[in-house]
Chains A and B, each alone.
Chain A
Amino acid sequence: MTPDEIVGRLGSGMTLGIGGWGSRRKPMALVRALLRSDVTDLTVVSYGGPDVGLLAAAGRIRRLVTAFATLDSIPLEPHFRAARERGAFELVELDEAMFMQGLTAGAQRLPFLPIRAGLGSDVLRVNPHLRTVTSPYEDREELVAVPALRMDAALVHLNRADRFGNGQYLGPDPYFDDLFCEAADTAFVSCERVVDSAELTAHAAPQTMLVSRHAVTGVTETPGGAHFTSCVPDYGRDEPFQKAYATAAADPDAWDAFRTRFLSRTGTERDYRLAVQNWHKEQR
C-alpha cells in the first residue's frame, strides 16, 4: 500500500491510535498523508509528539487521549501547547501507566484494567467519566478502573516489515506499538524497508519481531518515514529540522511558510524528502 492508500481507509470521526513515544519512531509519513487528506474530527490516542502537534495545528483533532505531548529534546510541543491554550480540542489527560493499562485492556478485549495511579490526583477531577473499582478479595482495595482504549485504526512505524505485515523494531524500545495494533480494529505499519520474511531474522533475534500479521491490515515502505522523529538505529532525530519546526510553530507567518514548503496538500512524501534535503543543504 502507499501512505495515501492507507489514509484512504480512514474516515472522519474515527478513533485513531498513533504509535511511538514523544518525538520517537512516529509514523510521520502516514501523518503527513493524513494532512494531505480531508480526514478530520479525529479522536487521537497517542503518547504525543509532533504527530499530535501537526494534527492539532491542522485542526484535525476533536478529542485527544494522552499523558503528554513533547518533542523530547524540546520539552514542550508548541502546536499542542497553542491548541490547548485556545481550547481547540477536548482532552482526555491520563497518566502514562493508566494509558498503558487502557491499551492493554483494549488489546485483551477487557472493559477496563485496574491501577493505583490516578487516585488522589486531578486526573480523576478532569476526567469525571473515570470510575473506581473495589477489589473482590479480602484487601478490598479501591483502585482506578482504566477503560479500554479501543481504536478504529492504529498507525505505527517500524524499522523493517515483510509484505504480510510482520513488523520488526531494531531500536532499544518497542514503545507500545504492538498494543496499539492489537487494540485497534485495523492497523497499518509503515517501515523503513520491506524485506523478505527470511531476512527479518537473518541478522536480528526473533524477539525484535514486535507486531504480527494477524494484527496488521496493511504495510507501506516509507524510507525516512519517521522523520523528523528518531528511528534508531536507522537514524536519530533530525534535531536541526525539529528546531526549525518548533521555531516556525511559534509564529503564524513562519508556520505558513513552513507548511507551504514541507507539507503541501498537493505534494507527496517524496516531495517532502527532497524539500528536507534541500533545506539541509541551505543550512551548511
Chain B
Amino acid sequence: MTRYATATATRAEYCVIACAEAWRGDGEILASPMGTVPSIAARLARLTFSPDLLLTDGEALLIGDVPAVGAASAVTEGWLPYRKHLTMVMGGKRHVMMGASQIDRFGNQNISCIGDWSRPRRQLLGVRGAPVNTLNNPVSYWVPRHSTRVFVEKVDMISGVGYDSAAAAGPSATRFHDLRRVVSDLGVLDFGAPGHAMRPVSLHPGVTLDQMREATGFSLPVPDAGVPYTREPTAEELRLIRDVVDPRGLRDREVRRP
C-alpha cells in the first residue's frame, strides 16, 4: 500500500477528489463533467461512493463500464443523443460540472464572450447550454486556474444563472435552481454565505486563504473557525485515479500547480 500513501497526493489529485465529492449522494442521475479533472472525478465517484451514477462516453452513449478517460467503452447501457440529453437536463436527472470563463460571487457564469456583447473584445463559445442547465438541474463549476480574471465582480454575459439573477427572475427561475459548489485548483467554494454568496469551504493542502483571496476578484467571507483543508484521498482512491481512471496522467496537464 505504500505506493498509494496519501501523503503523496498531488494538487491535481486533490482537485479530482474535490470534484468527485460534488456527486456524492446524487443517486441515479447523469454525472455530466466538462473538462479532464471533472471527467476523472465523475468516474472515480461512480467507482466508489456514488455507484448509481450514469456516465456518458462524451458523445451519444451512456456507458455501462468505467474505462480510463480517453479510452473506449466496452459496455453501452443507453442512448443519449443531444436531443435526449437536453430533455434529461430539463427533467432534472443530471448534475453537470461546467467550466467558467468568468464567475461572480452569486454564481453567475459566463462562457459567451468578454467585453460588450454587441461587439465583444473576445468572442468565446457562446452561451451553449448554460441557461438551460442552471435553471433545471444541479450545477457545479470547475475552474482549473483560479484567478481574478475568472472570479470577477460582475460577469460580462450571464450564461449560467446565479442565485441573485434567478431570484430576480421569479419563481419559475428559482424552482429547480441549485448551484452546488465551485472547485478550483486552489480549493472548494460554495454559496453558503448570506444571500447565497460564495464562500470558501476548503483549501487544497499547500494553499493559504490569503492566496485564494488574492486570486479572487470579490471579497470572500472568512469563517470564524477558519477554512479546513480538502480531504485526503484514500489509498484506494489514489490507486483508482492513477492506475484505472487516468493512467496517462491527463490530470496533470489541466492542473499545473504543484
From 44 to 68 in chain A, residues with beta carbon under 8 angstroms from any chain B beta carbon are 48, 66-68
B166 within 8 A of A: yes
Bound-complex Cα distance A85 to B60 (A): 33
Kindly state whether residue A120 has any CB partner on chain B within 8 Å: yes
Q: Is the CB of B82 within 8 A of A21?
A: yes
In Å, the complex CA distance between A95 and B135 comes to: 12
- What's the tally of chain B residues with a CB closer than 8 Å to chain A? 48
- Once the chains bind, are A119 and B128 in contact (CB under 8 Å)? no
Tell whether, in the assembled complex, residue A123 and residue B173 are in contact, meaning their CB atoms are under 8 Å apart.
no
Given known A93-B112, A172-B81, contact A80–B119 (CB-CB < 8 A): no
Q: Interface centre among A69, A123, A175, by most B CB within 10 Å? A: A123
Chain A interface residue count, CB cutoff 8 Å, equals 40
Query: Looking at the complex, which one of B113, B125, B159 makes contact with A70 (CB distance below 8 Å)?
Result: B125
**For residue B57, which residue of chain A has the nearest CB?**
A172
- Per the bound structure, the CA–CA distance linking A75 and B171 in Å amounts to 34
Given contacts A116-B136, A142-B172, contact A100 B83 (CB under 8 A): yes
- Is B123 part of the binding interface, using a Cβ–Cβ cutoff of 8 Å? yes
Contact in complex: B60, A123 (CB < 8 Å)? no
Residue contact B124 to A76, C-beta cutoff 8 Å: yes
Interface mask (A97-114 → B, CB under 8 Å = 1, otherwise 0): 110100000000000000
Residues of B91-146 whose CB lies within 8 A of A: 112-113, 117-132, 134-136
Let me know if A85 and B121 touch, CB within 8 A. Answer: yes
CB distance from A79 to the nearest CB of B (A): 11
**How far is A125 from B173 in the complex, measured between Cα atoms in Å?**
15
Q: Mark B160-173, 1 if CB is under 8 A from A, else 0.
A: 11100110111111
Task: Say yes or no: A95 contacts B130, CB within 8 Å.
Answer: yes
* Complex CA distance for A10 and B133, rounded to whole angstroms: 36
A93 touches B126 (CB 8 A): yes
CA distance A123 to B165 in the complex (A): 12
Interchain CA distance A69-B128 in the complex, whole Å: 9
Contacts of A100 in B (CB 8 A): 83, 86
Residues of chain A within 8 A (CB-CB) of B83 are 100, 174, 176
Task: Provide a sorted-by-A list of 25 A–B residue pairs whose CB atoms are within 8 angstroms.
Answer: A67-B126, A67-B128, A76-B124, A76-B125, A80-B123, A81-B123, A87-B119, A95-B131, A96-B82, A97-B86, A98-B132, A116-B175, A117-B135, A119-B131, A119-B135, A119-B166, A119-B170, A120-B166, A120-B168, A120-B169, A121-B127, A122-B157, A141-B171, A172-B59, A176-B82
Residues on A lying within 8 angstroms of B by beta carbon are 21, 48, 66-70, 75-76, 80-81, 84-85, 87, 93-98, 100, 115-123, 125-126, 141-143, 172-176
For the complex of A and B, the 8 pairs showing the least CB-CB separation, nearest first, are A117-B132, A68-B126, A120-B169, A172-B60, A97-B132, A84-B123, A120-B161, A95-B131
